[in-house]
A and B are shown apart, each in its own frame.
Chain A
Amino acid sequence: MTVIEAQEITKTYPAQGGKRALLGRGGIARLFRNTPTPPRQALAPLSLTVEPGEARGIIGRNGSGKSTLLKIIAGVSAATTGTLRVHGRVASLLELGAGFHPMLTGRENIYLNAGLLGMRHAQVDACFDAIVEFAELEAYIDHTVDTYSSGMYVRLAFSVAIHTDPDVFLVDEVLAVGDESFQRKCRARILELKAAGKTILFVSHDLGTVQALCDRVLLLDQGAVISQGNTQNTIDYYLRQIGQASGIRRLIHGDTEVLFNHGRLSLFHRQQELTAPLGIKAQFFSMEAYHESTEANWEICAATDERLEATGTFPRLPLRLYIVCEVGTAGLTVEISWENTQPLDLSYAAIQCFTKTSYTRWHGGAASGTFPTITADDHRWSVVAQPRQNVWACELTGDESSDMPPLCFAVDEAHSQARFQINNTDYMAQARLVHLTEAIPSGNNPLPPKRRHLGSLRIDPSQTAEQLAETKAQRSIARTLKTDRFVARLHDGFIEITLHEQAPTTSFPRTWESRTRQELAETTLDPRSRGDDEPISPSGSEQKLVVTETKEYPLTHFMHFHFQLRVGDLWIMSHDLAWSETANSDGVLSMSGRSQRFPGEVVWTLEPDGPNTLRISILLEVTARDTETLPSLEGLGVGLHPDQAAPNPPLTPPRRGTRKTAPPAATCRGQIALESLEISEYNVSVCLVPEYTRWETPHESGKFGAAALADDGWVHLNRAYTEGTVIKALSDTGSKIALTAEKTLGTCFPTAIRTDSGQDSRVLQLLCSPGQQQSFTLGVGKHNLFRGRLSL
Chain B
Amino acid sequence: MKPADTGDTINAMAIIEQAQPGHATLRRLPRDLIASRELLLDLVRKDLRVRYRYAALGFLWAVLEPLAYMVVLTFIFERVLAPKSGTAMFGPGIPFASGLLCGLVFWQFTTQCLSAATASLLDNQNLVKKVCFTREVIPLAAMGYPTFSLLIGFVVLLMVNAILGGTLGLSALWIAPLFLIQLSITVGVGLFSAALNVRFRDVGYMVNIVLLLGFYASPVFYDLDWVLAAAQSGDVPAIVVQAYLANPMAELLEAYRQALLEGRTPNGWLFVWPACVAVVSLIGGCVAFRRSAPTLSDYL
Binding site for B on A (CB under 8 A): 1, 13-14, 22-25, 71, 73-79, 84-90, 92, 94-95, 98-99, 101, 103-104, 108, 111-112, 115-118, 120-123, 126, 144, 165, 167
Contacts and interface: CB of A to CB of B under 8 A. Distances in A.
28 contacts: A14-B298, A23-B199, A71-B297, A74-B19, A75-B18, A75-B19, A76-B128, A76-B130, A78-B21, A78-B22, A84-B20, A87-B16, A88-B12, A90-B15, A90-B132, A92-B131, A103-B54, A108-B46, A112-B42, A112-B46, A115-B36, A115-B39, A118-B11, A118-B15, A120-B11, A120-B38, A165-B5, A167-B1
Contacts, number: 123
A88 B42 contact: no
B131 A108 contact: no
B2 A88 contact: yes
B264 to A, nearest CB: 45
B228 interface: no
A702 B198 CA distance: 78
Contact of A99 (B5, B127, B294): B127
B84 interface: no
Nearest to A167: B2
B126 interface: yes
B20 A86 contact: yes
B4 interface: yes
A161 to B, nearest CB: 10
| Residue among A75, A99, A144 with most chain B CB within 10 A | A75
B235 interface: no
B295 A108 contact: no
Interface residues of B, number: 44
Given A103-B50, A112-B46, A118-B18, A76 B131 contact: yes
A731 B199 CA distance: 83
A84 B12 CA distance: 17
Given A23-B199, A112-B42, A115-B42, A88 B16 contact: yes
Contact of B295 (A78, A92, A117): A78
A144 B46 CA distance: 12
A88 B202 CA distance: 39
A143 to B, nearest CB: 12
B42 A76 contact: no
A111 B39 CA distance: 9
Given A75-B21, A101-B50, A123-B6, A116 B295 contact: no
Given A24-B199, A78-B295, A122 B2 contact: no
A590 B146 CA distance: 95
Given A14-B299, A116-B39, A165-B5, A84 B22 contact: yes
A116 B297 contact: no
B53 A103 contact: yes
Nearest to A84: B20
Nearest to B45: A108
A98 B298 CA distance: 17
Nearest to A22: B200
Contacts of A79: 22
A76 B132 contact: yes
Counting from the closest, the 7 A-B pairs by CB-CB distance are A78-B294, A75-B132, A78-B22, A98-B130, A115-B39, A75-B19, A86-B19
Interface of B: 1-2, 4-6, 8, 11-12, 14-16, 18-22, 36, 38-39, 42-43, 46, 49-50, 53-54, 126-133, 198-202, 294-295, 297-299
A416 to B, nearest CB: 54
A5 to B, nearest CB: 11
Nearest to B296: A77
Nearest to A85: B20
Given A88-B2, A112-B46, A94 B20 contact: no
A280 to B, nearest CB: 37
Contact of A87 (B1, B14, B36, B126): B1
User: Which secondary structure dominates chain B's binding surface?
Assistant: helix
Contacts of A13: 298
Contact of B49 (A23, A86, A88, A108): A108
A90 B131 CA distance: 11
A88 B3 CA distance: 8
| Residue among B6, B39, B199 with most chain A CB within 10 A | B39
B145 to A, nearest CB: 15
A104 B45 CA distance: 10
Nearest to A98: B130
Given A14-B298, A92-B131, A103 B38 contact: no
B11 to A, nearest CB: 7
A435 to B, nearest CB: 40
| Residue among A76, A78, A89 with most chain B CB within 10 A | A76
Given A76-B129, A116-B131, A89 B4 contact: yes
B202 to A, nearest CB: 7
Nearest to B124: A99
B3 to A, nearest CB: 9
Nearest to A24: B299
A73 to B, nearest CB: 7
Nearest to A99: B127
A232 B201 CA distance: 47
A145 B298 CA distance: 29
B121 to A, nearest CB: 12
B131 A78 contact: no
Nearest to A79: B22
B5 A123 contact: yes
Contacts of B295: 14, 77-78
B12 to A, nearest CB: 6
A745 B8 CA distance: 81
A616 B199 CA distance: 88
A250 to B, nearest CB: 38
A89 B299 contact: no
Contacts of A144: 53
A744 to B, nearest CB: 69
A182 to B, nearest CB: 21
Contact of A111 (B2, B8, B19, B42): B42
A683 B150 CA distance: 85
Contacts of A111: 42
B1 A88 contact: yes
Contacts of B53: 103, 144
A22 B202 contact: yes
Contacts of A123: 4-6
A78 B20 contact: yes
A41 to B, nearest CB: 13
Contacts of A118: 11, 14-15, 18, 133
Given A23-B199, A86-B19, A112-B42, A94 B131 contact: yes
Contacts of B15: 89-90, 118
B32 to A, nearest CB: 11
B20 A75 contact: yes
Contacts of A73: 19
A115 B294 contact: no
Nearest to B47: A101
Contacts of B298: 13-14, 77
Given A120-B38, A123-B5, A23 B126 contact: no
Contacts of A77: 294-295, 297-298
A75 B19 CA distance: 4
B200 to A, nearest CB: 5
A181 to B, nearest CB: 26
A715 B141 CA distance: 63
Contacts of B297: 71, 76-77
Contact of B6 (A87, A99, A101, A120): A120
Nearest to B39: A115
| Residue among B1, B43, B298, B299 with most chain A CB within 10 A | B298
B33 to A, nearest CB: 14
B130 A103 contact: no
Contacts of A76: 128-132, 297
Contact of B130 (A25, A95, A115): A95
A348 B16 CA distance: 52
Contacts of B199: 22-24
A557 B296 CA distance: 69
